[in-house]
Amino acid sequence: MIRQLAFDLPAQEAWRREDFFVSPANQVALAALDGWRDWPQRKMVMIGPPGSGKTHLARLWAEETGAHYLRAADLAGLDLAGLAAPAAVVVEDAEAVAGNPGAEEALFHLHNMVLPRGHLLLTARRPVRDWGLHLPDLKSRMEAAGVLRLEAPDDALLSAVLVKLFADRQVMVAPTLIPWMVARMERSLAAARELVAALDARALAEGKPISRAMAAALLDRPEEE
């Protein structure tokens, strides 16, 4: 766990294609999204743990297809006819509809409006069978979707992300620091962004270069490990 710092850290996410690092953890899902016109059922559920890149990939796909991008928790009460007008729709955190009758019904109707002519991409942390859906018709339709799986970032992906994040800030660090952090940090892309931002802020505040001791303090891990 990264300790909280009393600094204003940059929070803006970059969703460009060039900011997405391809690795064995995500290359199959990326290829399937690139080939979206060939989806047999016109719908996919992209599953992966937090920080695995689901949101980044979903936003890239939405940009490419011109899809409406929305969160499942906001579905109830939306103008479904308007949402289904484009050829594609992205629903983030689709499992959040489970147990909410209005949201489940909204996703069911949205699915039926989009699929005759368009494509539907949903993201979730767990497989559809584990969402806890109450509406049988929605459950059957979601279970019929294709599945894309993202794994937690591997060492190569986390290393590449850390190098890119430091470079974006024009910050130089010792090459040995990257594998040291990768071995001790939370294995997510969001954690990598948070860690680099925190290190940059601390280094500026203390007027010192980023060091292993500084990273160890933020990660609450002994430097000598």
Give the model's pLDDT for residue 11: 38
User: Does pLDDT of 6 surpass 60?
Assistant: no
Q: At 121, which CATH number? A: 3.40.50.300
CB atoms within 10 A of CB 76: 15
pTM for this one? 0.76
pLDDT for 50: 82
Tokens matching residue 210: 């980023």
Q: What is the pLDDT of residue 139?
A: 97
Tell me how many domains the chain contains. 2
Higher pLDDT, 105 or 79: 105
Q: Look at residue 223 and tell me whether its pLDDT is greater than 70.
A: no
Percentage of the residues of the chain whose pLDDT score is greater than 70: 87
49 with 140, same domain? yes
Cα–Cα distance measured from residue 152 to residue 158, given in angstroms and rounded to the nearest whole number: 10
How sure is the predictor about 56, in pLDDT bands with cuts at 50, 70 and 90?
confident
**Residue 209 pLDDT exceeds 50:** yes
pLDDT of 9 = 36
Report H helices in the chain: 27-34, 54-65, 80-83, 101-114, 136-143, 155-168, 177-182, 189-206, 212-219
The listed range with the strongest mean pLDDT (13-27, 89-103, 177-191) is 89-103
Contact assessment for residue 30 and residue 22, using Cβ atoms and an 8 Å cutoff: yes
Q: How confident is the model at residue 16 (pLDDT cuts 50, 70, 90)?
A: low
**Type of residue at 212:** R
- How large is the average pLDDT for residues 173-192? 91
According to the model, what pLDDT value does residue 174 have? 92
Q: CA 40 → CA 122, 144, 147, 174, 187, distances in Å?
A: 15, 10, 12, 48, 33
Give residue 7's pLDDT band: very low, low, confident or very high (50, 70, 90): very low
**For residue 213, is it within any domain?**
yes
pLDDT at 8: 37
Q: Are residues 192 and 90 in the same domain?
A: no
On whether both 98 and 39 belong to a single domain, the answer is yes
Confirm whether 159 is domain-assigned.
Answer: yes
Query: Looking at the predicted structure, is the pLDDT value of residue 53 above 90?
Result: no
Residue 136 token pair:
């049988």
- The pLDDT score that the predictor gives to residue 62 is 93
Burial 31-62 (b: 16+ CB within 10 A, else e): ebbeebeebeebbbbbbbeebbbbbbbbbbbb
Domain boundary residue, one of 123, 149, 175: 149
Residue 201 lies in a domain: yes
- Contact at 8 Å (CB) between 133 and 142? yes
Reading the block at residue 88, the tokens are: 């594609």
Position 212 confidence tier, pLDDT thresholds 50, 70, 90: very high
Residues 6+ apart with CB under 8 A from 100: 76
- The mean pLDDT of the chain is 86
Residue 191 sits in a domain of what CATH number?
1.10.8
